[in-house]
Structure 1
């Protein structure tokens, strides 16, 4: 990296970024936690919802402040030598055009999906404080249908993993296999 003001140069490692994405209710947060025993020595697993705060929300700007904050954080963590697995609702058109995208090498996307009736039931079963009313559920179902339909044509393409009938442990193992095929290898689960 080079400072535009003074010309100071500093080495910056452009780690790959791995994004576990998909509609709300498909299991991203739960699977992210389940992955820790397998990945803690090779990846840093981050859950996007922890920074879903009013100061970073901007629906009219596609939540740009939220996304750029996460990209900067993931790039900084990557300087430790371990890439980041970012778990959240994000797709390539929301990340790839951002200037912060240049902080990474490749960005890989894996979307968790599930059947529409199952997704709607999962969202309806959430506690009231999460505010999943019928219009919001309909919006998420529309997003899920778009993602499944267009995943292969996005740039870069998004891989899909259906969680409809998979137990959490099986989903976590499949995500771990997907990551291992694209990223650092290591010993596997901790005892």
Structure 2
């Protein structure tokens, strides 16, 4: 139940769990999102975070608070349909958990895709030029990947890590699907 602080009006509001599939660029989030959409469509809404990465939401703050708050609000509204959201994009608990919109969810679960640094470097360097993955940007992403690996278990809540180094995308998507269904308490049929 949600209550208006101004007038006291109350209305039903579903607070469902949010599932965040995160990790550094190049670890397979977008590919996995496409595969999850097909395999979870009967029970979940799978969204790719980058679809809202536009000028109006790219605030100047280092934490992109407006962008993150917009995603949480949108996911909470989708939850009103009774279907949980799987959000695929780069986000970690310190970026969502302190936001006021966090109260709109019963839980937020985080799973981070990772891979070996040399493989990540190769994947990013192989991207088309228009994606602008130059050496400084690749180095920055490698630092971010190392930070996730070092801090995953200390974050609140902790990140579940899935290594995509030598794993086909379909298998990675299967592992992510099983993680989501186990947390949701759903049977894990093939």
TM-score by length of 2: 0.96
Q: Report the equivalent of 1:93.
A: 94
In the alignment, structure 2 segments of 5+ residues that lack a partner are none
Shift of residue 3, structure 1, vs aligned partner: 1.3
2:154 counterpart of 1:153: yes
> Within 5 Å, which residues of 2 pair with 1:124-163?
124-163=125-164
| Alpha-carbon shift at residue 37 of structure 1 (Å) | 2.4
Cα distance per residue 1:107-127 (max 9 Å; x no partner) = 100000000011111111111
Q: Name 2:175's counterpart in structure 1.
A: 174
Higher relative contact order (CA 8 A, sep 6+): 1
- Other-structure match for 1:63: 64
| 3-state DSSP of counterpart to 1:46 | strand
Which sits farther off after the overlay, 71-80 or 34-43? 34-43
What is the RMSD computed on CA atoms of the aligned residues?
Answer: 1.3
Mapping for residues 1-191 of structure 1, pairs under 5 Å = 1-185=2-186, 188=189
Deviations 1:8-33 (A, max 9, x none): 11111100010000000000010010
Task: Give CA-to-partner distance per residue, 1:165-190, whole Å, 9 cap, x none.
Answer: 0001100110111111101526856x
Q: Is the 8 A contact 1:151 1:158 kept in 2?
A: yes
User: Is the contact between residue 41 and residue 186 of structure 1 (CA under 8 Å) also seen in structure 2?
Assistant: no
Length-normalised TM-score, structure 1: 0.95
Gaps of 5+ in 1: none
Tell me, in whole angstroms, the C-alpha distance in 2 between the residues paired with 1:81 and 1:184.
15
Kept in 2: contact 1:18–1:107 (CA 8 A): yes
Give the Cα separation in 1 of the matches to 2:115 and 2:124. Answer: 12
CA distance in 1, matches of 2:146, 2:182: 27
For residue 153 of structure 1, give the secondary structure of its aligned residue in structure 2.
Answer: coil
Q: CA deviation at 1:38?
A: 1.7
Q: 2: CA distance between counterparts of 1:35 and 1:96?
A: 24
Distance in 1 separating the partners of 2:25 and 2:74: 22
- Count how many residue pairs are aligned between Structure 1 and Structure 2: 189
